[in-house]
Amino acid sequence: MKKFLAIVKHEYKRVVLKWSFLISTLLLPFLAVCFAFVPMIIFSLKGEPMRIAVADPSGKLLPRIEKNLSVERMIERAQQAAKDSMTQINGSQDEKMRNTAASVMQDFVLVPYDLAGRSGDAVRTDLISKVVANEIDAFLIVPDNFDSAQASFVFRSRKGGDFISNDTFQDALNNAVRSQRLADANISEESVAELSAPVNFDAKGIDEAGVEKDSSGVMAASFVIGLMIYITLAIYGQAIMAAVVEEKETRIAEILFSSARPFKLMLGKLVGVGLAGLTQLAIWVGSAAALLAFLALQTDFRQILATVPSITPVMITLFLTYFLLGFFLYASIFALIGSMVTSVQEGGQFAFIPVMIMLAAFYFCFAVIRDPNSDLSFWVTISPFLAPITMPVRILAETPPAWQIALSFLINAATITGLVWVAARVYRVGMLMYGKRATIPEVWKWIRQA
Amino acid sequence: MEPALESDISLRVRNVTKRFGEFTAVEDLSFDIRAGRVFGFLGPNGAGKTTTIRMIVGITVPDEGSIELYGQPISYELQDRIGYLPEERGLYKKLKVADQLRYFAELKGVSRAAAEKKIDFWLERMNLAEWKNKKTTDLSKGMQQKIQFISTVLHDPDLLILDEPFSGLDPVNVEFMIDVLSEFRSQAKTVIFSTHLMSTAERLCHDILLINRSRKVLGGSLREVKESYGMNLIAFRGTGAEKVLADKSLVETTIAHADERELHLAAGVDPQRLLRALIGAGASVTKFEITEPSLNDIFIEKVGKNQESRP
């Protein structure tokens, strides 16, 4: 036991007393947030104003589209969207939103196009040549029969992949056509505006106790949790592999094996590095809690905090438990790989297998967030290898019945026992095999004989 | 070997066989090692030395036979009484000298406080005190070698197993290490010393065991081994002896060196008989010395012959 503790301490210090530990502790939460929000921000970045030529024979749609694309209209819509997720908007927030909307929303410059009595094909060819000449970025040809249901609006753009602009424009066009059709049906503009106002969509989740809860923050929080566990498992798994390979490469293994049981050495390594990972997670959880507590004191943020899913101490305990389950599962695989190969580079060729499984588990998180009670969610949160990443996400999204958590825990704990046993057998033979990488049949033999 | 008391025997290896698949690394090997003596474990590369040592240290287990240290079968508990310096040296590259040594000592069951004292003592002894808080990568190869040696003796082992301990050391440090080893010997500890360097083995070892191709070739005290080979080698210098030396019933072979000749006597010939024959033939003898074969000669004769028939 004394030796085991010495091993645990040695491995723990080796990880924690390194600069890379401090750096990753500071950097990873930042990266996780970036992963969650950067794609959104990048897509919403304002591009150059989009010049769209509108060939509108009737002349009725163009003003309506222009109106729909105006800044005021955009803000109205943004407010509407905000109303759905937040109960109240005070004055200063309104001002902020106005600025944000103006700066974020895509600018459109609508250019009226004079048909000059030309036919459809000629117009099209001419417009295409204008796009090619970079006089305009896109064009819309409004058909003569725009008020019929079969009408087909031709929209061509140089930026075909800019789906945000395209969607915004399509929305504006849809609304314009709808209002025009209603106007043509002799409905007054006021009634049109009234009739086409969006509904007030008050969406909230209900938990198993029937209590209403605001679930808009769950998605982001679950995503961040899933990502953090995935990244931590991948990093610490690889750290285990590198440590095992170092001891094999430098032949330290020979000295270690002449001093302690290989099983003790391997388990000590797993426990030591696992505790280091737990330390890091605890720092993150602790600072997140401190940050939330601080924000709770700032009145401005109360509203936003209301959307943060409530995380109880029981949940945190479960997250850390699942992190440990995941750690021991994957770390024993990485240790096994490390003792099979002769260098870290060679190990990388095998490491992709556990990494792929982890990645798959991470992708399953999306299915779990969408429907935490589906059959798929049930299976992926009890199955070995996937559960350590998917279960915490499911617990956060909607805590499953206790028996499912217990079952998932038992299945994964049993898998760990089996894996550690197998890894220990490979480890004690593999660590003394120098020169060449072990083949799979060889490893199989070690597992059966050793 | 001189008759040894049961209590003198520290390590007893009996009929040990170790196979790796089809390959037999060690076959039916038996030997005893006595306390307070330096035991030379000799043999060419691939003879089975490292495999045998690993079984003694408890890293691997023999397929057949038994190994006993101080009357008990090898176990993880006994590992703490052994200090092992493997042929392939290894230290943690990025760890400080003191941290490595402390870890290795703790793995051998030494308490932290005791380890601290020992580390200081040995670093001082090896003139490495100022390197205590340096990383391995800052050390020269010779220094790393000495650090490695310290790690094998920190827990004050009763059995010290050194596999090629002098490789990478300059002659001054080799002499220094030999001094350190002599101390161990005088404390009635047992030293197993594995090497290819016959001259060092000859200088240090009381007993030797030569193995080749998984099997024991010869063993016993250095004296006995040499004696069993000696008495038939003569260093000769003189004139007018050609006729006598050409007599195959007396001299089997003659090897000419720079200023003398080495004579191998024919089987059963007493050196005195050759000397009388030379005098009788009127030769003028300026040197006639019965010499012992060097360990190197024995090694080459025993191993070289077998080597030829190697596939």
Domain that holds residue B254: 231-291
Q: How far apart are CA B230 and CA B228, in angstroms?
A: 6
Cβ contact B140:B146 at 8 Å:
no
A226's tokens: 């899933």
CB contact under 8 A, A250 and B93: yes
Q: Do B283 and B169 lie in a common domain?
A: no
Nearest CA to CA, how far is B8 from chain A (Å)?
24
Same domain, B208 and B160: yes
Q: What are phi and psi of B90, to 5 degrees?
A: -155, 130
Task: Determine, for residues A251 and B79 on separate chains, whether the beta-carbon distance falls below 8 Å.
Answer: no
| Residue A210 placed within a domain | no
Compute φ and ψ for A38, nearest 5 degrees: -60, -45
Query: Is residue A243 located within the same domain as residue A171?
Result: no
Torsion of CA B107, B112, B117, B122, to 10 degrees: 20
- Please tell me the predicted confidence (pLDDT) of residue A411: 96
Residues B142, B13, single domain; the answer is yes
Shared-domain flag, residues A236 and A290: yes
CA distance A254 to chain B (A): 7
Residue A207 lies in a domain: no
- Residues in chain A whose Cβ is within 8 Å of chain B: 2-3, 6-7, 10, 14, 246-247, 250-261, 432, 434
Residue A267: strand, helix, or coil: helix
CATH number of the structural domain spanning residue A64: 3.40.190.10
Same domain, residue pair B174 and B256: no
Residues A31 and A52 in one domain: no
Q: Does residue A93 share a domain with residue A112? A: yes
| B16 has a pLDDT exceeding 80 | yes
Of A6, A252, A258, the CB nearest to B58: A258
Decide if A12 is inside a domain: yes
- Residue A10 domain-assigned? yes
Residue B300, domain member (yes or no): no
User: Which residue in chain A has the smallest CA separation from B108?
Assistant: A259
Asked whether the beta carbons of residue A255 and residue B90 sit closer than 8 angstroms, the reply is yes
A7 and A62 co-located in one domain: no
B contact residues 32-61, partner A, Cβ 8 Å cutoff: 54, 57-60
Whether the CB-CB separation of A173 and A86 falls below 8 Å is answered with: no
Answer yes or no: is A283 within a domain.
Answer: yes
Last residue of a domain, one of A170, A202, A234: A202
Query: Do B235 and B213 share a structural domain?
Result: no
B298 within some domain:
no
Q: Grade residue B181 by pLDDT with cuts at 50, 70 and 90.
A: confident
Cβ distance A3 to B92 less than 8 Å, yes or no, reads no
Q: Do B104 and A254 touch (CB under 8 A)?
A: no
Residue where a domain stops, chosen among B181, B206, B227? B227
Nearest partner of B145 among B166, B131, B162, judged by Cα = B166
For chain B, how long is the longest CA-to-CA vector? 76
Percent of chain B whose pLDDT exceeds 90: 34
Angstroms from A347 CA to nearest CA on chain B: 19
Residue B306 forms part of a structural domain: no
- Residue B26's pLDDT is what? 92
Choosing among A3, A5, A254, which should be mutated to test the B contact, i.e. which has the most B CBs within 10 A? Answer: A254
Would the CB atoms of A246 and B54 count as touching at under 8 Å? no
| Cα gap A233→A358, rounded to integer Å | 8
Residues A222 and A187 in one domain: no
* Residue A260 to residue B151, Cβ atoms within 8 A: no
Statement: residue B308 has pLDDT above 50: no
Amino acid identity, residue B243?
Answer: K
Which residues of chain A make contact with B82, given a CB cutoff of 8 A? 258
Number of domains in chain A: 2
pLDDT tens-digit series, residues A26-41? 887 777 677 766 766 7
pLDDT-based confidence at residue B12 (cuts at 50, 70, 90): very high
For residue B120, the distance in angstroms to the closest alpha carbon of chain A comes to 20
B10: CATH? 3.40.50.300
Contact A432 B82 (CB under 8 A): no
A255, A265, A444, best to mutate vs chain B, most B CBs in 10 Å = A255
Query: Rounded to whole angstroms, how far apart are CA atoms A250 and B76?
Result: 23
Do B69 and B120 fall within a single domain? yes
| Same-domain pairing of B250 and B168 | no
Which residue in chain A has the smallest CA separation from B50? A254
List the one residue out of B131, B126, B171 whose CA is nearest residue B149.
B126
Low-confidence stretches of chain A (pLDDT < 70) are: 32, 36-37, 39-40, 42-47, 71-106, 196, 198, 203-217, 299-310, 450
ipTM score here?
Answer: 0.83
* Chain B, window 155-184: residues with a beta carbon less than 8 angstroms from a chain A beta carbon: none
Q: Looking at the structure, tell me whether residues A127 and A239 fall in a common domain.
A: no
Residues B240 and B217 both lie in one domain: no
Looking up residue B271, the CATH number of its domain turns out to be 3.30.70
B1 falls within a domain: no
Q: Of A202, A232, A248, which one is at a domain's C-terminal end?
A: A202
B-chain CB neighbours of A432 within 8 Å are 54, 59-60
What pLDDT does residue A105 have?
Answer: 55
Hey, which residues does B64 pair with through a beta bridge?
B17
Domain of A73 in residue numbering reads as 47-202
Is A209 domain-assigned? no
Q: Tell me the backbone φ, ψ of residue B65, rounded to 5 degrees.
A: 85, 180
Residues A110 and A18 reside in one and the same domain: no
- Residue A260 and residue B106: Cβ atoms within 8 Å? no
Is A380 a member of any domain? yes
Domain boundary among A174, A202, A230: A202
Q: Inter-chain contact B59–A3, Cβ cutoff 8 Å?
A: no
Residues B126 and B209 in one domain: yes
Q: What is the DSSP letter of B303?
A: I
Asked if residue B152 and residue B11 are part of one domain, the reply reads: yes
- The pLDDT assigned to B33 comes to 92
Interface A-B, measured as beta-carbon pairs within 8 A, has a size of 61
Phi, psi of A204 (to 5 degrees): -145, 155
Whether chain A has a CB inside 8 Å of the CB on B82: the answer is yes
Contacts of B113 in chain A (CB under 8 A): none
Residue corresponding to tokens 């825990």? A409
Contact with chain A for residue B18, Cβ under 8 A: no
Asked if residue A269 lies in contact with residue A252, where contact means CB atoms within 8 angstroms, the answer is: no
Is B307 inside any structural domain? Answer: no
Whether residue B44 is found in the same domain as residue B173: yes
Query: How does residue B7 score in pLDDT terms, banded at 50, 70 and 90?
Result: low
Asked if residue B309 has pLDDT above 50, the reply is: no
The half-sphere exposure of B20 on its side-chain side, counting CA atoms within 13 A, is: 11
Decide if B47 is inside a domain: yes
Task: Tell me, yes or no, whether A195 and A232 share the same domain.
Answer: no
B136 within a domain of the structure (yes/no): yes
B308 lies in some domain: no
Q: Is residue A208 part of a domain?
A: no
Q: What is the pLDDT of residue B297?
A: 80
Nearest chain B Cα distance for residue A278, angstroms = 23
Same domain, A197 and A280: no
Number of domains in chain B: 2
pLDDT at B252: 85
| Residue B139 touches partner A, C-beta closer than 8 Å | no
pLDDT tens-place string over residues B45-83: 888 898 999 999 999 889 999 999 988 999 888 999 999
Tell me which chain A residues have a C-beta less than 8 angstroms from the C-beta of B79: 258-260
Tell me the C-alpha distance between B66 and A197, whole Å: 92
Q: Which of A392-406, B2-16, B251-265 has the lowest mean pLDDT?
A: B2-16
**Cβ A251–B104 below 8 Å, yes or no?**
no
Q: What is the Cα–Cα distance from B217 to B199, expressed in whole angstroms?
A: 19
Say whether both A187 and A311 belong to one domain. no
pLDDT digits (tens, 9 = 90+) for A224-239: 788 888 888 888 998 8
Do B283 and B168 lie in one domain? The reply is: no
Given B227, B251, B270, the domain boundary residue is B227
B91 contacts on A by Cβ (under 8 Å) = 250, 252
Same domain, A433 and A385: yes
Nearest-CA distance A312 → chain B (Å) = 40
Asked whether the beta carbons of residue B90 and residue A252 sit closer than 8 angstroms, the reply is yes
